[in-house]
Structure 1
Amino acid sequence: MNEPPRPTRRHVLRGAAATATVIAVGGAAGGTAAAAPGGFPDHRYLKTLLTPSQLRYNPTGEIIFPCIRGTSGRVPAPLGRYYLYYAPHDAPGGICLAHSDSLEGPYTEYPANPIVSNNWQPHYRVSHVSSPHVLWNEDEKEMWLYFHGENTTTRLARSKDGIHFTYDKVVLSTSMMPAGTTETSYARVFRHDLPAKGARYVMLFMLNNTTNHRDICWGWSPDGRTFTFDQRPLVRHLDVGAVNIGGPHLLTRGGSAYVVYNKDKGSGGDLMITEVGKDFSRRNHLGVFHNSLNGAPDNGRVAAPSFGTQDGVGYMVYEAGERLQGSIALARAL
């Protein structure tokens, strides 16, 4: 489950890192497949997994930021073979869970959603919590949940079963970044060794400041709890001709590392890819990684991908549709 990714069209769901991935660059369904930058294979839209109007817990009519994790051999008596985490963004938000025995679904909504709310005393009371990223921490044999609330703060909670979490600590806040920073959110953490920094985990996240243009930043950690943060952006919006960039995800292949992120052009957006190298010293902007569908469910916008395989077939779970009006969709490897 944790071996290095092989240069094939299919990849195993990575537990802690979930970094070996495959994504589509084909636009309209039924179009001709094209190789993605970096040698990654393609995915094509298959179906919509979750729609807000069909969910019991639906305080705001929108959901974002899916994260898919396998449960086999990890948690006791799992509800399903796969756990899908997601959240509304707007207040009150709430970290939610759905489960299935197949990546293709159908997914069953956990009846006690949200599993983490915006009021967790004595730790915090905030307007909203959102953007769940769950890491299988092989070192601790736990599911580690990173989530934001407010947009200034990223927090960590830990669980043995992936459902009931214990609060741990704040791992990122605007105070840890340069003066003028207004947001540090949408963080994902991956198992990735950086020997020169004494690190075994890296965090990717979105940073906003007083210019109101969002960039991708990063940090590193020996344990996934205490991070050192580069004070300079890893990828700047200006580098790729965007208004904002966000939703970063780490991929590894062929001895190198890549960051995939959504590009906001002011109206809709696609997924882009930048090669950062195994030690994060490169900045090789490779262009469009996945074109959004013009029609439903993407309606010109895709974001926040998460990845896995089942029975040798690769999948991408992603946020589809206009910002705060979308659904959670699934694409399958060609």
Structure 2
Amino acid sequence: MNEPRPGRRLFLRAGAATGAALTVGGLGAPAASALAPGGAAVPAASAAPGGFPDYTYVRTLLTPSQLKYNPTGEIIFPCIRGTAGRLSNPLGKFYLYYGPHDAPGGICLAYGDSLEGPFTEYPDNPIVANKWSPHYSVSHVASPHVMWHESAKEMWMYFHGENTTTRLARSKDGINFTYDKVVLNTSMLPSGTTETSYARVFPHELPSRGAHFVMVFMLNNTTNHRDIHWGWSADGRTWTFDQQPLIRHTDVSAVNVGGPHLLYRNNSTYVVYNKDKESGGDLMITEVGNDFGKRTHLGVFYNSRSGAPENGRAAAPSFGTQGGVPYMIYEAGERLAGSIAMARG
């Protein structure tokens, strides 16, 4: 199944994970609660704006202390991708990319046959390290976002290291990557920019700009307040970036916003992103429209729970569906002290 394009009536952004095991279509309202691993009912989050499903925390998928590759005791920024119809002889129906942030970081892989889990840690993590001769040697690499590039028939990974620089690597099997190039750094944005990181890239048609891909990412500057920015590209390699924020932290009464992800519904485009814990720690949603001309802030997309594992913070969501059921895989818990969790719609 190819990546969907705006203009089709989609239930959820299928670019998060597609393939034979995955379906995309219009479902009715989800159940109001789900069962946690211990069998207790977990209350659903508040109704999501924009007609999206309510997501309810179900379980933790990855915890740092249970991982063989665990240099720093923390992991962040999950990205889930379906392998069916894309990769030959994959390890599982789904690849889950993630990694620690702090030095030395490292891009990691886990695999499984269900978005419900379990996921098995790839034995030779990290699949991308903080030193890749002759291309770079940095303190850390982190925040993998992997996009299926339909025309190239490759998995394209965007990742940062240092926080000033986002890079691209490409793979035929989703495990062994070839370095490509730097696609984003602070010099491409206004003077005073100090970080350009946590990028996600999606196939998206912008005819007026001659673009087939868009990027959303987090930008920090000398004020030390983080906003969401965006850019566009004809090929996914060479980019043009809007010099103004797509979503300012002040738009949603936050100190910082980050972890953006695109979703599509009812022939429109939305950005889901997280507030910092000091500002509530919830996932927010803004409608930007298919041409990115709107700025309609719709409020809370997912309320983070005060109890474990979220402890008042949900962040960096990645989305997919399996068997018609929507899933969200995300960071749960305090920054650099959490786990990768799964919620079901």
Normalising by structure 2, report the TM-score. Answer: 0.91
Give the unaligned 5+ runs of structure 2.
35-40
Alpha-carbon distance between aligned partners in 2 of 1:61 and 1:140, rounded to the nearest angstrom: 36
SS at match of 1:30: strand
Q: By how many angstroms is 1:254 displaced?
A: 1.1
Alpha-carbon distance between aligned partners in 2 of 1:33 and 1:151, rounded to the nearest angstrom: 32
Report the equivalent of 1:127: 139
SS at match of 1:216: strand
Report the equivalent of 2:230: 218
Check whether the contact 1:243–1:265 (CA below 8 A) recurs between aligned residues. no
Give the unaligned 5+ runs of structure 1.
none
Q: By how many angstroms is 1:30 displaced?
A: 3.0
Q: By how many angstroms is 1:33 displaced?
A: 5.8
Are the structure 2 counterparts of residues 33 and 263 from structure 1 closer, same or farther at C-alpha, using a change threshold of 3 Å?
closer
1:167-182 equivalences in 2 (<5 Å): 167-182=179-194
SS at match of 1:238: helix
Check whether the contact 2:9–2:267 (CA below 8 A) recurs between aligned residues. no
The answer to whether 1:71 aligns with 2:83 is: yes
Alpha-carbon distance between aligned partners in 2 of 1:209 and 1:154, rounded to the nearest angstrom: 16
Report the equivalent of 1:52: 64
Check whether the contact 1:12–1:308 (CA below 8 A) recurs between aligned residues. yes
Q: By how many angstroms is 1:35 displaced?
A: 2.8
Check whether the contact 1:46–1:331 (CA below 8 A) recurs between aligned residues. yes
Q: By how many angstroms is 1:321 displaced?
A: 0.2
The residue type paired with residue 210 of structure 1 is: T
Q: By how many angstroms is 1:105 displaced?
A: 1.3
Q: By how many angstroms is 1:32 displaced?
A: 5.2
The answer to whether 1:273 aligns with 2:285 is: yes
Alpha-carbon distance between aligned partners in 2 of 1:36 and 1:201, rounded to the nearest angstrom: 26
Check whether the contact 1:80–1:101 (CA below 8 A) recurs between aligned residues. yes
The residue type paired with residue 302 of structure 1 is: A
- Aligned residue among 43, 51, 74 for 1:62: 74
Are the structure 2 counterparts of residues 34 and 270 from structure 1 closer, same or farther at C-alpha, using a change threshold of 3 Å?
closer
Alpha-carbon distance between aligned partners in 2 of 1:286 and 1:141, rounded to the nearest angstrom: 36
CA deviation digits over 1:177-204, x for unaligned, max 9? 0000000000000001000000000000
The residue type paired with residue 335 of structure 2 is: R
Report the equivalent of 2:169: 157
Alpha-carbon distance between aligned partners in 2 of 1:184 and 1:33, rounded to the nearest angstrom: 31
The answer to whether 1:87 aligns with 2:104 is: no
The residue type paired with residue 39 of structure 1 is: G
1:141-290 equivalences in 2 (<5 Å): 141-266=153-278, 269-290=281-302
Alpha-carbon distance between aligned partners in 2 of 1:187 and 1:307, rounded to the nearest angstrom: 15
Alpha-carbon distance between aligned partners in 2 of 1:133 and 1:96, rounded to the nearest angstrom: 11
The residue type paired with residue 185 of structure 1 is: S
The residue type paired with residue 154 of structure 2 is: E
Identity of aligned residues (%): 73
CA deviation digits over 1:185-238, x for unaligned, max 9? 000000010000000000000000000000000000000000100000000001
Q: By how many angstroms is 1:80 displaced?
A: 0.4
CA deviation digits over 1:134-186, x for unaligned, max 9? 00000100000000000000000000000000000000000000000000000
Query: How many equivalent residue pairs?
Result: 330
The answer to whether 1:326 aligns with 2:302 is: no
Q: By how many angstroms is 1:313 displaced?
A: 1.2
Moved more, 258-267 or 203-212: 258-267
Normalising by structure 1, report the TM-score. Answer: 0.94
Report the equivalent of 1:36: 48
Alpha-carbon distance between aligned partners in 2 of 1:114 and 1:236, rounded to the nearest angstrom: 34
The residue type paired with residue 142 of structure 1 is: E
Check whether the contact 2:328–2:344 (CA below 8 A) recurs between aligned residues. yes
- Aligned residue among 113, 116, 129 for 1:117: 129
The residue type paired with residue 242 of structure 1 is: A
Alpha-carbon distance between aligned partners in 2 of 1:122 and 1:7, rounded to the nearest angstrom: 43
Check whether the contact 1:11–1:312 (CA below 8 A) recurs between aligned residues. no
CA deviation digits over 1:268-306, x for unaligned, max 9? 500001111110001001111100011011000000011
Two-structure CA RMSD over aligned residues (Å): 2.3
SS at match of 2:208: helix
Alpha-carbon distance between aligned partners in 2 of 1:296 and 1:265, rounded to the nearest angstrom: 14
The residue type paired with residue 144 of structure 2 is: P
Check whether the contact 1:15–1:135 (CA below 8 A) recurs between aligned residues. no
SS at match of 1:266: helix
